[in-house]
Amino acid sequence: MLNTKSFLTVDFGAGSLKLAEFEINESGGLRLKSFAIKPLGLEGSQESSREKVILSALQAVLTENKFSAKSVNVCAPGFHVFSKFVKLPPVDAAKVGQIIQYEAQQNVPFPLSEVVWDYQIMGSAASGELEVLLVAIKSEIVERLFRVAEEAKLKLQLCDASPAALCNAFRYNYGDIEDCTMLLDIGAKTSNLLFFEKGKVFSRSINLGANIITQDFANEAKLGFDEAEKIKIAEGFVSLGGAYEEPDNPHQAAISKIARQFMTKLHIQVNQTMQFYRGQQSGSAPQRLFLSGGASIMPYTAQFFAEKLNIPVEYFNPFRNVQIDPSVNLEELSRVAHSLGEVVGLGLRNLANCPVEMNLMPDSTLRWQSFNQKKPYLVAAVFSLVLVAFGIGFLFQKLAVNKESQIEDLNPKIALLQSNSGRFNSALKQLQRTQAEANQITQWMQQRFYWADFLADMRRALLRSEDDLKKKMAAQKPGSDVGIWVEHLTSAPNQAGATAAAGAADGTVANPPASAPGGNAAATMAALMMGLNNSRLANSSGNNPGAAPVAAIPGATIPGANAVDQSAGNAITLVCRAVSLKNIDPSANNTDIAYSVRDQIAASPLVNPDPKATQLVGEISPDDANGTFTFTVSVTPLKPLTF
């Protein structure tokens, strides 16, 4: 139920536009304030021109009658509306919606995505089946009506269907009739036939309208449609058959025959619908017929159906229980009241809960309506934002003036500070250069002792290896001695030359070239730091002619040993010599000494912790003449060593 003090209702029929203004009276009933009917002509029933025609007619009616209300309920014509009564099996209320959705998909002749549809449960049959009225209309039709209302400066409230509006109007005015009654609404393009029996309602749309009479007469008389329509309204009537004399007026004679042929076809459809209602809907035989619609006013229409149906026929009065405002012309209203059933039914939607309540408004239209309702608030919000923006702009202008004044006062001070800043930056750069030079000198001073620390730590690593091996040998031969020392120490720039000398064809282990940085001097310093005497160093350096050459023995490769990485510019190669364990125990493995030395050196805090930084290189070279063997360890210090 919609509540509005004064409102409009419009029936956009195929042949005419019918408009009425209602208000709710003091007793809560409906009061008619004014009404108007505007013919649409043939263009009103043609889709290509219909929207333009009904807009022009609506604007003309509003201008001529000066209606005050702006909200409107509209009714779509019968030829645009698909309606059908369906029966549903007795199911839970929660499943009714799903079943009706399925029925709509099966019965509506368009995809559901293209239509607006609604339904009303009209009651239940004796078998328990639900009787449902299903109504659908294409969305573009309703959107067209919405555009027309918008162009006419009207606010569309709801869109109803013609059969539903007629049903509500009849129930409101003839609610006291309980036996089976028919209401036949003869329109310009289609007709609606409704059955009312106690609380039961049934309707059917018949694809026959009075425009057929006008078109056939216009073709026969060689007249235009509009002229033929005027003659039909002024002179036409329904012929009562062969027993009556034919009129002398040729127009009347032609129209009466054409009208009788049309009414005969309509009677056939009415009779078929009566049989369907009684057979399929378990209805009773109709006891009376009410006529409505613009075409029903043609003289002798009531007599024709009374003769054919053999039941009382009278004209439908939709204002039977509606109060009429004193300003309304009653004589004019009485001539067209039978055709205003739809506008009364639309007005009742604002008054009370009606037997049939449907709203065929598409979602797009409802969203647009919601936007229009919020539009005043949006406009107010935009206006408020504009005011706020203006206020902020004015405030910022004032602030800008004050800031400019303050900047002018600060400019001399800023210039002085910038001058001081330049001098400060110059002094700061000089300080930074001095600090950098001091740091470099400090670094050089610290590196003076790094060689000594590194070599001392290498010596400690050899001593730890000797201690570990002594403990292991004590179990087999107590008192056994283990000796390990460094014969050569070569830094990365001299590594290639030292390695080539150590692996020469004669098998002798050569010292690094004396001309290389850190060559013999570095080796001598390393030997002294690690506790070696000059005789050992000389004996192993290849400079002693009595020393036996140290030959590499095939098959004595240290497992896991790698070639020296020449790309590691910080690497140091240590050529170590150790007393062979085989002198003590022939089954002993000299590689244990090499691995022990490697592990102890890798554990040094002055060595790069990367596992690849400390590696065994090449093969073990035994010296059977003096019971010793040599092996090579590549070490990468944590810091680069400079000579």
Question: pLDDT value at position 544?
Answer: 36
Lowest mean pLDDT, pick from 68-77, 252-261, 552-561, 631-640: 552-561
Nearest to 621 by CA among 545, 515, 540: 540
Lowest mean pLDDT, pick from 28-37, 125-134, 417-426: 125-134
Tokens 């073990």, located at residue:
620
Predicted confidence (pLDDT) at residue 158 exceeds the cutoff of 80 = yes
The model's confidence at residue 560, banded by pLDDT at 50, 70 and 90, is low
Tokens coding 161:
């269907």
The DSSP code sequence of 534-581 is HHHHHHHHT--TTSPP-PPPTT-BPTT-----TT-TT-EEEEEEEE-G
CB atoms within 10 A of CB 430: 10
More confident: 127 or 481? 481
Predicted confidence (pLDDT) at residue 497 exceeds the cutoff of 70 = no
- Average pLDDT over the chain reads 80
Tokens coding 278:
């009684």
Q: How far apart are CA 465 and CA 477, in angstroms?
A: 18
8-state DSSP, 128: S
The DSSP code sequence of 296-365 is GGSTTHHHHHHHHH-S-EEE--TTTTSEE-TTS-HHHHHHHGGG-HHHHHHHHTTTS--SS------HHH
Average pLDDT (377-401) is: 86
Lowest mean pLDDT, pick from 124-128, 253-257, 364-368, 483-487: 364-368
Lowest mean pLDDT, pick from 295-304, 322-331, 403-412, 534-543: 534-543
Question: pLDDT value at position 371?
Answer: 62
pLDDT tens-place string over residues 433-462: 999 999 888 877 777 777 788 889 889 999
Question: pLDDT value at position 631?
Answer: 92
Q: What percent of the chain has pLDDT over 70?
A: 84
Question: pLDDT value at position 21?
Answer: 92
Average pLDDT (169-194) is: 91
**DSSP E strand boundaries for 187-262:** 191-197, 200-206
Strand partners, 619: 557
Question: pLDDT value at position 507?
Answer: 36
Predicted confidence (pLDDT) at residue 374 exceeds the cutoff of 90 = no
8-state DSSP, 515: T
Average pLDDT (223-235) is: 89
**DSSP E strand boundaries for 415-525:** 484-491
Question: pLDDT value at position 3?
Answer: 46
CA angle (146 as vertex; 145, 148 as ends), nearest 5: 65
Predicted confidence (pLDDT) at residue 266 exceeds the cutoff of 90 = yes
Are the C-beta atoms of residues 195 and 202 closer than 8 Å to each other? Answer: yes
Q: Which CATH number fits domain 175-315: 3.50.30.50, 3.40.50.970, 3.30.420.40, 3.40.50.620?
A: 3.30.420.40
C-alpha distance from residue 207 to each of 186, 189, 545 (Å): 10, 7, 133
Question: pLDDT value at position 243?
Answer: 65
Sheet holding 130-138, edge to edge: 81-88, 130-138, 115-124
CA angle (436 as vertex; 435, 437 as ends), nearest 5: 90
Average pLDDT (569-587) is: 83
Average pLDDT (240-250) is: 77
Q: How far apart are CA 518 and CA 566, in angstroms?
A: 17
Tokens 């300080």, located at residue:
431
Nearest to 629 by CA among 589, 576, 583: 576
Predicted confidence (pLDDT) at residue 566 exceeds the cutoff of 70 = no
Strand partners, 37: 18
Question: pLDDT value at position 545?
Answer: 35
Question: pLDDT value at position 360?
Answer: 80
CA 237 to chain centre: 63
More confident: 576 or 536? 576
Phi, psi of 40 (to 5 degrees): -110, -15
Domain edges within the chain: 175-315, 450-635
Predicted confidence (pLDDT) at residue 339 exceeds the cutoff of 60 = yes
Strand partners, 6: 23
Question: pLDDT value at position 370?
Answer: 64
The model's confidence at residue 535, banded by pLDDT at 50, 70 and 90, is very low
Q: How far apart are CA 581 and CA 524, in angstroms?
A: 27
Question: pLDDT value at position 363?
Answer: 67
Q: What percent of the chain has pLDDT over 90?
A: 27
Predicted confidence (pLDDT) at residue 583 exceeds the cutoff of 60 = yes
Answering whether pTM is above 0.75, one says no
pLDDT tens-place string over residues 72-121: 999 888 778 888 777 777 777 777 777 887 878 887 877 888 888 888 78
Query: To 10 degrees, what angle do helices 534-541 and 520-529 make?
Result: 140
Question: pLDDT value at position 181?
Answer: 95
Question: pLDDT value at position 428?
Answer: 92
CB atoms within 10 A of CB 58: 24
More confident: 233 or 105? 233
More confident: 106 or 1? 106
pLDDT tens-place string over residues 185-227: 998 889 999 999 887 888 888 999 999 999 999 999 999 988 9
